[in-house]
Amino acid sequence: MKQMDGFRIVSVLIRNHFKRLKGKWLSLPLVLLAPIILLSVIGYLVIAIVEQPTQQPIHVGIVNLDQTDQTNLLVHVMEEVSKSIDYIDLTSYQESDAEAAIAAEQLDAYLYFPRQFFSSLLRGESVELEVVGHPNKRLEGQLVQGFVDNIGDYIESAQANILTVDYYASTLLAEEERQLLLFEQFQSFFFHALAKDQALQEHEVQISLYHSPLVYFTIAIWFVLITIWLFSLYIILHKNEDRRMKKRMILYGLTDLHEAIALLITLLLIMIVLAISSFALIHYWLPLSLATDQLWFIALLVGLYIFIFSELFILIDYLPLSQRLKLIIQMLAMVGMLLLSGATIPQAYFPVSIQDEVGYLFANHVFTWLEQIILHGRFHAEFALLYGCSLIGIFLMVTGSVIRGRVK
């Protein structure tokens, strides 16, 4: 049988990959869309947390069952405080009214001050503030709880101080006089606690070209998205080979290396199209300001990233293990790379012991330089490590395919 040259074999394989993808016109967009939806939900949530919500305020009722001067003051103070906070609006209610208001959707949540609230505090007993949320507005309920937690902290710190004063005052003052003093002190300590943020003089330092963290998160999400796409495509393309077709191709001189090269080229071609189009969308939407040189650097970085990651997947498939284990290893490799790349957890928060070493991981290297170029406007990137990784990958693939060829 006449041997086909390697070039033709590879081109036949590539054409075959594309033909198969065409047959998947329905599932392919689904596979590509699913991670976008997932990531945009997560991204939206993260951004929503970092940039405090500025939409409609949450309406919260306060039900005061204690009805002492002190709690009435507290409620009054909380109402006042909430006026200076955009996202929460507090109003006091009777218990039955609050229940009705929740049902009528006038309130998103309400909180109870239980009976004996203040006297329990003074006695140093534990007290629970209860927040009741609207069944359809769980998210708001949790924001309210965060707010109440804060107020709780203020009350708590005031409480320790009052107990101190009370401890000494009890030896000097009569009961009535003492109560009056404590009430004054409580008021004073509570306002003191409310003003605690003033203790800091805050300076914001801008370190990137963009004022908001939005750009960083978008780039990070884009990076994760590309990685997930790559893996999904790899899974779709890699298996499903037509056995009979493969047997025939072996007669023409097909080896594992041909298959690997064809897979690499196919993945690279598709991923470049996907990466460029998604980046163009981001570029337009944010918008970014990048020079042509910088765009070339980004393209090269991402191209090499895709190339090395594909090599890694292929090499894992060369391991003599069961399909399930190989899949798990590939998945772990992907998750590990993403975790250590700096795109999921910013590198600053990494353990000190690995801060220096992670720089040698190709994923981390690529993401760091993407950040440098896009966020910090650098006109430079280092590629030596990435070229090295690609070459080692190629070397291992050739060796692996030769060994596998012998074993067969």
Partner 1 sequence: MMQLCIARLMLWKQHVLSYLFWLWLPLIGTLLFVPFIQDVSDEFLVPIGIVLEEETELAQQLYQTIAQVDTVNAEQFEEREAIRRLNRNQLDSVYLIPEGYQERIEHGEQRHLVEAYYTEHSLAYPYVKELVTSTILADTGKVKAESAVVGLAEAHQQPDKWNSDEILATAEQFYQASSILSTDLTISGEDQSLAEHDELKLYWQVWVLLSTLSTLFLFDWIITEKSQHVRIRFQYMKVSYRCFLLISLMMLLIMLLLVDGLTLVVLNVYRGEQLSILTLFSYRVMIAVFSFLLAMIWKNRYLYQATAISFVLWLTLINSSFKIEGEGHQLIQSMLPLNPLRAFLNDQASWRGLMLAVVGLVLWYAKEGGFYARNKRSN
Site string for partner 1, 150-179 (x = CB under 8 A): --xx-xxxxxxxxxxx-xxx--x-------
Nearest-angstrom CA–CA distance, 160 and 349: 34
Residue with tokens 């899974």: 235
**In Å, what is the CA distance from 236 to each residue of 229, 278, 312, 377, 403?**
11, 20, 16, 37, 26
Token output for 379: 């006109």
Among positions 5, 128, 175, 176, the unique one binding partner 1 when judged by CB under 8 A: 128
Stretch 10-39 residues interacting with partner 1 (CB under 8 A): 38
| Options 121, 257, 302, 315; binder of partner 1; rule CB under 8 A | 121
Q: How many Å is the Cα radius of gyration of the chain? A: 31
**Are 296 and 228 contacting, i.e. CB atoms less than 8 angstroms apart?**
no
Residue closer to partner 1, measured from CB, 143 or 264: 143
Dist CA 160 CA 122 (whole Å): 9
Based on the shown chain and the rule CB under 8 A, indicate whether residue 127 belongs to the binding site for partner 1: yes
Q: Rule CB under 8 A: choose which of 116, 179, 208, 390 binds partner 1.
A: 208
Take residue 139 and report the two structure tokens written for it. Answer: 């998210």
Strand 58-64 to strand 109-113: parallel, antiparallel, or no bridges (unpaired)?
parallel
Which helix (H) or strand (E) segment holds residue 73: the answer is: helix 69-83
- By CB under 8 A, tell whether 145 contacts partner 1: yes
Minimum CB distance to partner 1, residue 132 (Å) = 5
390 binds partner 1 (CB under 8 A): no
Q: Which stretch binds partner 1 (CB under 8 A): 283-291, 301-309, 311-319, 325-333?
A: 325-333
The only residue of 28, 77, 81, 129 in contact with partner 1, by rule CB under 8 A: 129
Selected from 174, 352, 384, 407, the binder of partner 1 by CB under 8 A is 352
For residue 118, give both structure tokens: 């203040």
Angle between helices 69-83 and 175-194 (to 10 degrees): 10
Q: Is 67 in the site for partner 1 (CB under 8 A)?
A: no
Binding letters toward partner 1, positions 359-378, x by CB under 8 A:
--------------------
Quick one: which of 84, 96, 126, 292 contacts partner 1 (CB under 8 A)?
A: 126
286 makes contact with partner 1 (CB under 8 A): no
Binding of partner 1 by 96 (CB under 8 A): no
Q: CA–CA separation, 263 vs 255, rounded Å?
A: 13
- Round to whole Å and give the CA distance between 8 and 223: 34
Q: Is 201 in the site for partner 1 (CB under 8 A)?
A: yes
Q: Is 221 exposed, middle or buried (0-12, 13-18, 19+ CB in 10 A)?
A: buried
Going by C-alpha positions, the residue among 267, 258, 262 that lies closest to residue 302 is 267
Give the full edge-to-edge strand order of the sheet including 58-64.
88-93, 58-64, 109-113
The verdict on 353 binding partner 1 (CB under 8 A) reads yes
CB nearer partner 1, residue 45 or residue 291: 45
Sign, Cα dihedral of 309, 313, 319, 322: positive
User: Contacts with partner 1: how many residues (CB under 8 A)?
Assistant: 95
With binding defined as CB under 8 A, does residue 206 bind partner 1? yes
Q: Is 5 in the site for partner 1 (CB under 8 A)?
A: no
Which residue of 30, 45, 273, 392 would you call a contact of partner 1, by CB under 8 A? 45
Contact status: 244 vs partner 1 (CB under 8 A):
no
Other beta carbons within 10 Å of 133: 22
- Candidates 23, 29, 146, 359; binder of partner 1 (CB under 8 A) is 146
Stretch in the footprint of partner 1 (CB under 8 A) among 255-263, 279-287, 292-300, 320-328: 320-328
Does 335 bind partner 1 (CB under 8 A)? Our answer is yes
